[in-house]
Amino acid sequence: MAHQDQTIFQATDRRLPAYLRLRDDLAARVAREGGASDVALPSENQMLAETGLSQGTSKEAMQMLVDEGLLERD
């Protein structure tokens, strides 16, 4: 099986706002790894460092996933 890149923020459609691109990338990762309970997402600080996005953008994307039932906050 080919190695899957675990880097977040791989979306290529730059027409979408950054929070939607991040949301889409994280949702795809959740789906690829078998559901929210099985996914270990990067910490917020790691996500900010990897994506170069602001904390507000990251929080908005994460909240969308929570609202959609794809993630649960601890």
pLDDT 10s digits, 16-72: 899 999 999 899 888 887 766 667 788 889 989 988 999 999 999 999 999 998 888
**Residue 58 has which token pair?**
């990251």
Judged on CB neighbours under 10 Å (0-12, 13-18, 19+), 26 is buried
0.85 exceeded by pTM:
no
**Residue 24 has which token pair?**
């889409």
- The domains of the chain are located at 18-67
* Residue 60 contacts residue 26 (beta carbons within 8 Å): no
